[in-house]
Amino acid sequence: MKIGMVLAGLAAASLTAVVAFAQGERPPNRPIPDPQSGRHFATPDTLAIQDDDFLNPAFLWVEEGEQAWNRVEGTAGQSCASCHNDATESMRGVRARMPAYHPRLQRVVTLEQQVNICRTERMGAPPLPIDSRPLNAITTYIALQSRGMPVNVDISGPARRFFDEGERFYNTRRGQLDMRCATCHEENYGRYLRADLLSQGMSNGFPTYRLKEQRVISLQFRLMGCVQDVRGEPPAMGSEAFTNLEFYLAWRAQGLPVESPSVRR
């Protein structure tokens, strides 16, 4: 298997620690054991917008998502609420444990993908494009129901393989700048990259209202930006590569409170 060969190659380069890390079923070590949310690296002005639910423009998306939750779509004549009833109860904690392993599909799915699985399989409605405004509205509304709850994804059992894939993507140098995610977010967080204060790259605030984009963005849209910033070719949003990476990132942020919808520069 390809992963095995790569790992063997790494072992030959005497990076034995990395191998034990990726292959073992025991809990992996976190490079940042006590993670800090992105809000730790945000300016007071930005936080003032986030911490006021009226001022936070992401609540425009929340309102759209709440309306979409109750709107019947598709051939089955159902809405989200037909199965899940009141989102403020049924969706509580969902954002905190996603992405999660989907036993029937035998892979890890993100919250975005799960919404589309419901739409196509239960509602008979077309899937919404990843990072589109209607999909971000629904995921922001769902994520809000978990605000303050600690991120707690399950990487055990069959999910572990996808976690390892995500970790490998995270630690692979890429792009013309030959950087891995950790180059910025583990080796240099808290330092300035031109005018930007580098964060630890924790994903607990997503979906987030990004002031640069002037809209709510999904995590995988931000990941595309990261890969482009190191002058690499990003995988598509919704791809297996980014989904596994999102799974790994969630585990990196394990224990941090869900902050969605956060506001970031």
Partner 1 sequence: MAAPIGQPRVRLPAQVRAGEVIEIRTLISHVMETGQRRDQAGNVIPRDIIKRFEAKFEGQLVFAMDLAPAISANPYIAFQFRAERPGRFEFTWTNDAGESRSATQDLRLA
Residues that bind partner 1 (CB under 8 A): 54-55, 57, 59-60, 63, 211, 214-215
Exposure string over 2-18, b if 16+ CB within 10 A, otherwise e: eeeeebeeeeeeeeeeb
Q: Which is nearer to partner 1, 18 or 60 (CB)?
A: 60
User: DSSP class of residue 159?
Assistant: G
Q: Which is nearer to partner 1, 57 or 238 (CB)?
A: 57
264 touches 211 (CB < 8 A):
yes
Q: How far is the CB of 10 from partner 1 (least distance, A)?
A: 40
Q: How far is the CB of 79 from partner 1 (least distance, A)?
A: 20
Q: Which is nearer to partner 1, 54 or 192 (CB)?
A: 54
Considering only CA atoms, which of 66, 70, 31 is closest in space to residue 252? 31
Q: How far is the CB of 54 from partner 1 (least distance, A)?
A: 5
Q: How far is the CB of 262 from partner 1 (least distance, A)?
A: 16
Q: What is the phi/psi pair of residue 24, to 5°?
A: -70, 150
Bridge partners of residue 153, in order along the sequence: none
What span, in angstroms and rounded, lies between the C-alpha atoms of 151 and 31? 17
Distance between first and last Cα of the chain: 42
- The answer to whether 83 is a known catalytic residue is no
Q: Which is nearer to partner 1, 53 or 86 (CB)?
A: 53
224 touches 65 (CB < 8 A):
no
131 touches 213 (CB < 8 A):
no
Cβ-proximal residues to 252 (8 Å cutoff; 6+ apart), any chain: 30, 32, 35, 201, 202, 203
Q: How far is the CB of 61 from partner 1 (least distance, A)?
A: 9
**Cα within 13 Å of Cα(39), Cβ side:** 19
List the catalytic residues: 226
